Amino acid sequence: MPTNSITEHDDVSTQFKDKVASVGRAAGEKIDANRQVAASGLENAASTLHENADSLPGGEKVSEMAHAAADKLGATADYVRQHDVSGMAADLERVVRKNPGPALLTAAVIGFLVGRAMSND
């Protein structure tokens, strides 16, 4: 391969990497800008679930499960408020490193569901 061709290839590669990094930063900024809205939505869902948990059919066990789910939603809302995208990504990486099997299974299930949803459209 001629030297010019290698240099041009390196330039294209560098430009591509820069563009991908730029898109990633923009996506992260967009997500960070919407974190408070997402956290508020989770908090509202938790509040509504707590308010209606005791009136759900199925008795005390279902009510307890609904309150537990509402507590998890509230904790998730707090987490989203307190962590930016890079912090969440670091936490996710730690969880995947500690639990690679369940992480792969979860990714496979999510991929299957997304693929299925897209094929139905």
Q: What percent of the chain has pLDDT over 90?
A: 39
- pLDDT tens-digit map of 55-102: 888 889 999 999 999 999 999 999 999 998 888 889 999 999 999 999
Statement to judge: residues 76 and 118 lie in one domain: no
Are 34 and 58 a contacting pair, CB within 8 Å? Answer: no
Statement to judge: residues 34 and 65 lie in one domain: yes
Statement to judge: residues 90 and 56 lie in one domain: no
Statement to judge: residues 28 and 57 lie in one domain: yes
> What residues make up the domain containing 33?
1-82
Statement to judge: residues 57 and 6 lie in one domain: yes
Least confidently predicted of 15-29, 78-92, 105-119: 15-29
Cut 0.75: pTM above it: no
Find all residues with CB under 8 Å of 35, minimum gap 6, and list them.
Answer: 80, 81, 84
pLDDT at residue 8 greater than cutoff 70 = no
Q: What percent of the chain has pLDDT over 70?
A: 92
Q: What is the pLDDT of residue 73?
A: 92
What is the rounded CA–CA span in Å between residue 88 and residue 69?
21
pLDDT at residue 7 greater than cutoff 90 = no
Q: What is the pLDDT of residue 59?
A: 87
Higher pLDDT, 21 or 97: 97
Statement to judge: residues 7 and 42 lie in one domain: yes
The domain total for the chain is 2
Higher pLDDT, 109 or 121: 109
Statement to judge: residues 27 and 60 lie in one domain: yes
